[in-house]
A and B are shown apart, each in its own frame.
Chain A
Amino acid sequence: MGRPASAHRRATLLGSSEKKTMAIKLPIYMDYHATTPVDPRVLEAMLPYFTVQFGNAASRNHPFGWEAEEAVEKARKQVADLIGANAKEIVFTSGATESDNLAIKGVAEMYREKGNHIITCVTEHKAVIDTCKRLEKEGYRVTYLPVQKDGRISLDELRAAITDKTILITIMAANNEIGVIQPIAEIGAIAKEKGILFHTDAVQIVGKVPFNVTDLGVHMASLSAHKMYGPKGVGALYVRRRNPRVLLAPIIDGGGHERGMRSGTLNVPGIVGFGKAAELCRQEMATEGERLRGLRDYLNDKLHRQLDELYINGSVEHRLPHNLNISFAYVEGESLLMGINDVAVSSGSACTSASLEPSYVLKALGAGDDLAHSSIRFGLGRWTTKEEVDYVADKLTSVVTRLRDMSPLYELAKEGVDLSTMQWQTEGH
């Protein structure tokens, strides 16, 4: 949407802060949980595999195939090294949605005789929730654990949910909306004690904070390249080979690639990029994590200094360093996004359907639908600068202030009315 005249008006709202941010390139990307750009070093590593070294990694009889296979095996090692796995435990897929499907459906089919019960949690990604729902239609029983106010599951509730029919626990490592990190090592210990397989959707955590499958007692982990500065369309499933050896029924049949677990010609350039991205994350994670934590805390502090009635969704302590999810009370999320349209972020409000259902993750925290409708997710990343954070904080401050001035809820709250006790007319809306 091009609107130069309104851009000028918005600029005047910002006043003096606009001057020092003139050098910033707009729009600003602050939605790194959705996807990340490919790191130029990753792209460079990928390019030859499109044109020169274009062989099929499954071609055994000529150098084109050998080169491709060698590149894939190097990448397999790079990905494995990032999570403390053996290269043979990495199965390349088209992305984390496929990895989640393979882990859950693969275990469900392979261990059907052992049991039919799966435990997951209400704040999982749809790739896990909808896969579990599919299995429910096929006769499996699924327990969706609730989360506590901080977004983490209760280990006692997990223990209580386990039955002698439980074959799989699938709990995400870090949430994609609120960045809350689950007690993965503790869940791994419970799974080990009970002899149950443990899968984790580790898409948001891998490459951001240390994540070691051996230390954590994880049996399967879903990974995605495009969340860690690699290309889209490539992912992996870590599948443990010993203590215990995990067996999976494939969901795609064909040429028997990836040790029979995932047939289909390998996406060699994508896999090479995934490997390079994993290597860079392993080398730079510590410094990058600290830098982003600093910027994230700076953003949070600045917003809290400039605005009142902000609520952080989910645990602050157990949280990815580059995530911030805040509800700006009395302001609706979509109108907030409209006001900050030169900043790319996500909102928990979904005012696009008759049901107007806000984020199920935020609802699960018990935040109340009104606060879910007021939430913004910030995802900082490799190219986020302090200048950008300043711009975003100032911009949000001016837009939130303007929208609160026209919010009947803010007016009522300032008059001392308790909004939770009011009788609202909800029929038909």
Chain B
Amino acid sequence: MAYSNKVIDHYENPRNVGSLPKDDMNVGTGLVGAPECGDVMKLQVKVNPQTGIIDDAKFKTFGCGSAIASSSLATEWLKGKTVDEALAIKNTDIVTELSLPPVKIHCSVLAEDAIKAAIADYKKKQVAEGKTAEKMAQPTA
């Protein structure tokens, strides 16, 4: 399998490898894929509550070089974006940027899924947090 130079670069120098505290209310975590399929991605975003902008993103990936590169690139793109802008990232953007061959397109799909899962987790926490805040606020209101 011949990899593009960009895939090789991300594989050898992955950006933003690591983990954010998953219980932090401003952190959204997406875990997609399955070990038996040969791909598992964990992607996390940390959203600044004042600005609504993603100011940190981390990933860990079990998978081939293209899967690692797709998730590494995704974290690069996520930083500095609003939550809505993040949801606009399409797998085809990743395919184009990394010159992924047809047999590796599923890696980009998984990265898009990971972004969506992380944002969904973040939004779920915000809603839950909002309800809790409302409840706590009620007695004194």
Could you list which residues of chain A lie within 8 angstroms of chain B, going by C-beta atoms? 1, 3, 6, 9-10, 330-335, 338-339, 349, 351-354, 356, 358, 368-370, 373, 405-411, 419, 424-426, 428-429
User: Which A residues are in CB contact (< 8 Å) with B113?
Assistant: 425
User: Which A residues are in CB contact (< 8 Å) with B31?
Assistant: 408, 425
Interface size on B, residues (CB 8 A): 37
* CB pair B39 A424 closer than 8 Å: no
Complex formed: what's the CA distance from A405 to B19 in Å?
11
Q: Name the interface residues of B11-65: CB closer than 8 Å to any CB of A.
A: 11-12, 14, 17, 19, 31-42, 59-65
B120 to nearest A CB, angstroms? 12
Complex formed: what's the CA distance from A333 to B35 in Å?
12
Tell whether A411 pairs with B19 under 8 Å between CB atoms, given A332-B63, A425-B34, A426-B36.
yes
The A interface, classified by DSSP as helix, strand, loop or mixed, is: loop
User: Which B residues are in CB contact (< 8 Å) with A429?
Assistant: 33-34, 37, 39, 106, 109-110
Chain B residue, CB-CB nearest to A330 = B62
For residue B3, CB closer than 8 A to chain A, the reply is yes
User: Which B residues are in CB contact (< 8 Å) with A368?
Assistant: 36
Complex formed: what's the CA distance from A408 to B60 in Å?
5
Of the residues B2, B32, B35, contact of A409 by C-beta under 8 Å: B35
* CB pair A369 B14 closer than 8 Å: no
Complex formed: what's the CA distance from A369 to B62 in Å?
13
Of the residues A1, A10, A332, A408, contact of B38 by C-beta under 8 Å: A332
A133 to nearest B CB, angstroms? 25
The B interface, classified by DSSP as helix, strand, loop or mixed, is: mixed
Complex formed: what's the CA distance from A429 to B31 in Å?
14
For residue B141, CB closer than 8 A to chain A, the reply is no
For residue B8, CB closer than 8 A to chain A, the reply is yes
Query: A338-B11, A354-B103, A411-B60 are known contacts; what are 6 more A-B pairs with Cβ within 8 Å?
Result: A330-B62, A332-B62, A335-B67, A351-B104, A405-B17, A425-B32
B61 to nearest A CB, angstroms? 6
Chain B 63-98 interface mask (CB, 8 Å, partner A; 1/0)? 111111000000000000000000000000000000
Tell whether A335 pairs with B60 under 8 Å between CB atoms, given A1-B8, A352-B1.
no
* CB pair B64 A370 closer than 8 Å: no
User: Which B residues are in CB contact (< 8 Å) with A6?
Assistant: 8, 12
B55 to nearest A CB, angstroms? 21
B114 to nearest A CB, angstroms? 10
In the complex, 27 of the A-B residue pairs with CB atoms within 8 angstroms, ordered by the A residue number, are A1-B3, A1-B8, A330-B62, A331-B62, A332-B39, A332-B63, A335-B64, A338-B3, A349-B38, A351-B64, A351-B67, A354-B103, A356-B39, A369-B35, A373-B35, A373-B38, A406-B59, A406-B61, A407-B61, A408-B61, A411-B19, A411-B60, A425-B31, A425-B33, A428-B109, A429-B33, A429-B34
